[in-house]
Amino acid sequence: MTAEQIIAIIIFAGMFIAIMSGKVHRYIPALIGGAASALVILTLTHPGPENLWHVLRLYDFIDLHWWYGKHAAEAASGGGLEITGVNWQTMVFIGGMMVMVEGLAAVGFFRWLCLLVAKLVNYRVVPILITFMLLSGFLSMFIDSITVLLFLATATIELARLLKFDPVPVIIAEIFAANTGGSATMSGDPPNIIIGTHFGYTFMDFIVNTGPIAWIGMIAALGLFYLFFRKLLARPPSDNSATLPRQYPAPREAILDPRLFKIHTAIFILVIILLVTHATTGLSVGLIGCIAAFLTLVAAGKRAGHILRGVDRLTLFFFLGLFVCVGGLEATGVLQMLAQAIGDASGGSIIIAITFILWISAFASAIIDNIPFAATMAPVIGSLAATQGFGLKTLAWTLALGTDIGGNATPIGASANVVGIAIAEKEGYRISWGRYCKYALPAMLIVLALCHIYLVLRYA
């Protein structure tokens, strides 16, 4: 390897170790790694300024096709070997959805939905487990799984205190359902957004290809968690309390402003429609994110500033630093070397390539956050498809399922896991590694095995 490749790998490895340590917010090592990678690209690669310009990709914003029609991300699916750099489609879309979700939360949408579901099952704990898993999986198809866990875990703890049950099993099941349901669409899990925007795939591309196995896996997970937790959750309250359903909060109590509630719900439905139809309309997901944010802020009026302050800007900084750091690996040729190694190991067999990418992605995502892993591997599979002749879409669906499902295995495998566990601990319910992995790891292995069978039968 060349000196610049060794330096790029050291920078990237240092960033990963710092993120995994959890001692500082992940945006800090990502930005430091991005800045160091930019310096390496500028000074050690040839031609440095041109390579850095292609990594930063600021010119995307003045390209009409980036906003409408076949946007610039599709270039990666054509060439496969060019520098793809910062994925602004991912960042703009996630930022816009964050604004929309803040608007929904401000009018009580998520609390209303959780209370409504609990009321529909007459506040019985085991049915709450099942329906909240389904709700988590369904919402994660359209809203970032991180956000889904943020509000669903909070609502679960509130219900647990009212109904006198341990919320930890339900939260573990919700985490698993969010990551599994999120694998069904492009807008579900962040790895899918990265993969979809990188290669120019549509919402319907994911629905048709990853959607079927995602919900087969969801049904399997539903049965597993029911077997795991039905006896534990069916135990009567320790204090023999007999609270009647009419004494629980009514769903309508969560609605703070009925007029704004209807407006923000309508915006949410409109955005879902735009996502489902964006292959037909030609709207890029970046533009859809902008539409979601604009309509939310207009509807909020004087409360727009409060909504903007609630947006998680640090996560957007994390994505920026991460993409530049991965761009350093691209510009120095490290990712091309990795793609070549995978191609050589597969021996030209798509079945071996599927097996290798799926299971390596899953176990790697179990020990490191699946977002940086997906960002790293997206250009690798693009290069692999271009040099080895494998179907790019087959590799893309394999990577998406591997990172999404594999992220379920440990408490740090996906951002949704970290958020759900943090909320539980903040409220006094500690979820240890042992307790989490006892249930999530075997469920992950079973669902991943189903994904493997599906991928081989359908695409090999």
Q: Quote the pLDDT of residue 163.
A: 84
d(CA 278, CA 282): 5
Which tokens belong to 114?
């959780």
Tokens of 72: 């610039």
H-helix segments, 301-407 = 304-309, 313-331, 334-346, 350-367, 370-388, 392-406
Q: According to the model, what pLDDT value does residue 73 have? A: 43
3-state secondary structure of 200: coil
How far apart (Å, rounded) are the C-alpha atoms in residues 395 and 392?
A: 5
Length of the chain: 460
367: pLDDT strictly greater than 80: no
Confidence band of 169 (pLDDT split at 50, 70, 90): very high
Write down the pLDDT at residue 76.
38
What's the pLDDT band for 70 if we cut at 50, 70, 90? low
Q: What is the mean pLDDT of residues 77-94?
A: 69
Domain map of the chain by residue range?
3-330+415-431
- Asked if the model's pLDDT at residue 81 lies above 70, the reply is no
For the chain, the C-alpha Rg in angstroms (whole number) is 22
pLDDT of residue 82: 55
- In whole numbers, what is the pLDDT of the chain averaged over residues? 87
CA gap 212, 199 in Å, rounded: 21
Residue 389 has pLDDT above 70, yes or no: yes
Which bin fits 45, alpha (ψ -120 to 50), beta or left (φ > 0)? beta
CA separation for the pair 7, 274 (Å, rounded): 43
Q: What is the pLDDT of residues 295-348, one digit of tens each?
A: 999 999 989 999 998 888 888 898 899 889 988 888 888 888 888 888 888 888
Instruction: Return the higher-pLDDT residue of 291 and 375.
Output: 291
Confidence (pLDDT) at 382: 87
Answer with the residue of higher pLDDT: 340 or 34: 34
- Residue 314 CB neighbour total at 10 angstroms: 13
CA 355 to the chain's CA centroid: 22
d(CA 369, CA 407): 7
- In tens, the pLDDT along 376-386 reads 888 889 888 88
Q: Token match 């990237």: residue?
A: 12
